Structure 1
Amino acid sequence: MARAEDSPDTSRPDRRARGGAVETAALRFLQRHGLRLLARNARARGGELDLVMHDGDSLVFVEVRYRASALFGGGAASVDAGKRRKLVLAAQAFLLAHPQHADSPCRFDVIDAGGDPQAPAIQWLKDAFRADDA
């Protein structure tokens, strides 16, 4: 009889699909608020940037966090000091790779999404932290 730990991990594709659905919902939400998409899932040294967007003249690095339940803290609470440092490093690498944006004012936003991943409740934390806070 096979034990649970012996069976292959089938949750990874579901988790990836759920994350994609939540990111798409966050993207649409931000676009309805006037932001324009520059890059999605931009890989850079130090990590991945979920969304890179323009808000007027500003470049916005958006971290999308999803929690089905806020029982153990919402998604925004999971953006701790270590995660903020990784996001700042990834943003710096993105700016080095895209020098045309190097002089743009930048900010870091967090989308805290919860509930149904197909239609999540979204809380937008604009200017959630600063690069010098990380």
Structure 2
Amino acid sequence: MLPKAQGNAGEEQAVEHLTRHGLTLVERNFRCDLGEIDIIMRDGEHWVFIEVKYRTNEDFATVVEQITSAQCQRVRRSAQFYLLSHKLDEHQTRLRFDVIAICQQPSQLHWLQDAF
């Protein structure tokens, strides 16, 4: 499977998992000049911005270890832009930044709530 197709499959798996846990999908693959947010969902009052990491294996590092501080900053800045463009006040809106880490071999899905 090509990397883009793997990423899409990972995002679909993440959405299905989160939906089963009561979250509501708002948007996928939000892009702006500041970066991209893989998935945006609602969890009650919280707007949840989700970074999905998908790897075929963890030979070099775990999926979670591959998340960089620069990636976290890009997601945060993109979330701020999203809020502004949707006229949501970032100081009065409950936010959460989650990570879904998926490894194909061995088959694992980890949901890290409030990851950064």
TM-score normalised to structure 1 length: 0.79
Query: By how many angstroms is 1:101 displaced?
Result: 6.3
Match of 1:115 among 79, 86, 104: 104
Name the counterpart of 2:27.
Answer: 39
1:53-132 alignment runs, 5 A limit:
53-100=41-88, 102=90, 103-115=92-104, 120-129=107-116
Deviations 1:72-116 (A, max 9, x none): 112221221111111111111111111146432001000000116
Over the aligned positions, Cα root-mean-square deviation in angstroms equals 1.6
Q: Which runs of 4+ in 1 moved over 6 A?
A: none
TM-score normalised to structure 2 length: 0.91
Distance 2:32 2:85 in 1: 9
Q: How many residues align?
A: 114
Identical amino acids, percent of aligned pairs? 37
Query: By how many angstroms is 1:44 displaced?
Result: 2.0
- Secondary structure of 1:115's partner? strand
Q: What one-letter code is carried by the residue in structure 1 that aligns with 2:51?
A: E
Distance 2:6 2:89 in 1: 31
Structure with the greater alpha carbon radius of gyration:
1
Query: By how many angstroms is 1:124 displaced?
Result: 0.3
Distance 2:108 2:114 in 1: 19
Distance 2:42 2:89 in 1: 10
Q: Which structure 2 segments of 5+ residues have no match?
A: none
- Secondary structure of 2:8's partner? helix
Q: Is the 8 A contact 1:45 1:89 kept in 2?
A: no
Higher strand share: 2
Q: What one-letter code is carried by the residue in structure 2 that aligns with 1:74?
A: T
Q: Which structure 1 segments of 5+ residues have no match?
A: 1-10, 130-134
